[in-house]
Structure 1
Amino acid sequence: MPAPVPLPLLFLDVDGPLIPFGPPPPGGHPTYAPDPDPSGHPLLARVNPALGAALAALPCELVWATTWMDDANALVAPRLGLPALPVLDRQEEDAATREHEALHWKTRALVAQAAGRPFVWIDDEIGRADRDWVAAHHPGRALLRRTDPWRGIAAGDLDVVGEWLRGLRRVGEGL
């Protein structure tokens, strides 16, 4: 019997995708927690808890890819109803090791952690350099989904990601 194919990865940023920021839309940013957060973080109330179920329903393995690092498990995951997730290993690199100054610090690290597995990366800071680098250095399929940091992850973003992941299943690249 062949070994099971591992699920694709979904690397998830916090600031921007899960916590919208920037100038608030008319009427302010929606908030989902009536009381101040005990951690003292002023923007955690903007995390929409409904996103947790939507993300957990996707056929993938969720991984934090954020400067929050392990704090995402302590402060963000409970608001989303998610268990503790793996955290992207931040690779130390200086400007001399970068091929291009516009390359995001996460790009090399998530390609290394994916190790050829298909992956999705949801972030508000994905740029052309990141797309080009992933295309040149990642042997598997990848979807880099840039979100609007002022509104965060929207239903359309999740629709695109879900369809892409289901497409992998149809061609046998994911369970």
Structure 2
Amino acid sequence: MLPGPTRRPLIFLDVDGPLIPFKARLVGRKHSFRRAVTQPPADAGNPLLDRLDPDDGRRLSALGGQLVWATTWMAEANEVVSPRLGLPDLPVVEWPDSDDDPKHGLHWKTMHLVRWAAGHPFVWLDDETTDVDRRWVAAHHSERALLRRIDPYVGLTEADLSAVRQWLVQDEGAA
């Protein structure tokens, strides 16, 4: 969990889909993506890492929330993804060792993230959230939460970041 008390909203980050889109980012795209992926970088074991947009780290940091890895990459996100995005080591959500699937279409991360947030407002950027997760969080989390579904074929966009910024400004007004 996070050291010490904080009121900054948490920003839970998934990697595959939101930060590493399933399709290569195209040259000249409006959202600061400069290149299409044609070959993996020489230093990477995972050829998809070249789909990371280095600007995402700066853009996410500028949001002002506490960034937290909420990905199956777990601690490896700090070793592999953070340096490529220019991020420091971030707190990491450790997932329980359970094969139990939640009922009624709830994402397997949802209940655990609400517990991890421990009453803090949070944003969750993931490509697999649904209205079922939104309704469950609204009913079981005492603070505000924004579950933003990121298109996994496009990755994080300026529209996604704008929605987060707008939500954060509303959160500041509520404090």
Instruction: Name the aligned partner's letter for residue 15 of structure 2.
Output: V
Query: For residues 121 and 154 of structure 1, what CA distance do their matches in structure 2 show?
Result: 15
Question: Corresponding residue for 1:84?
Answer: 89
Deviation of 1:153 (Å): 0.3
1:45-93: CA deviation from partner (whole Å, max 9, x where unpaired): 0100001111001121000010111110001000110000011121234
Q: Given the alignment of the two structures, is residue 135 of structure 1 paired with residue 138 of structure 2, yes or no?
A: yes
For the residue of structure 1 that corresponds to 2:47, the secondary structure is coil
Tell me the matched-pair count: 166
Percent identity among equivalent residues? 52
1:123-174: CA deviation from partner (whole Å, max 9, x where unpaired): 00001221121111111100000010000000000001011112111221xx
TM-score normalised according to structure 2 size: 0.85
Deviation of 1:105 (Å): 1.6
* Structure 1 unpaired stretches of 5+: none
For the residue of structure 2 that corresponds to 1:122, the secondary structure is strand
* Structure 2 unpaired stretches of 5+: 28-32
Question: Corresponding residue for 1:74?
Answer: 79
Question: Corresponding residue for 1:110?
Answer: 113
Going from structure 1 to structure 2, the CA distance change for 1:41 and 1:89 (only over 3 Å counts) comes to same
For the residue of structure 2 that corresponds to 1:75, the secondary structure is helix
Instruction: Name the aligned partner's letter for residue 6 of structure 1.
Output: R
Going from structure 1 to structure 2, the CA distance change for 1:168 and 1:32 (only over 3 Å counts) comes to farther
TM-score normalised according to structure 1 size: 0.85
Going from structure 1 to structure 2, the CA distance change for 1:34 and 1:5 (only over 3 Å counts) comes to same
- Check the 8 A contact 2:19/2:53 in 1, yes or no: yes
For the residue of structure 2 that corresponds to 1:43, the secondary structure is helix
Question: Corresponding residue for 1:149?
Answer: 152
Select between 38-47 and 141-150 the one with higher mean Cα deviation.
38-47
Deviation of 1:106 (Å): 1.0
Going from structure 1 to structure 2, the CA distance change for 1:72 and 1:25 (only over 3 Å counts) comes to closer
Query: For residues 26 and 50 of structure 1, what CA distance do their matches in structure 2 show?
Result: 15
- Check the 8 A contact 1:11/1:122 in 2, yes or no: yes
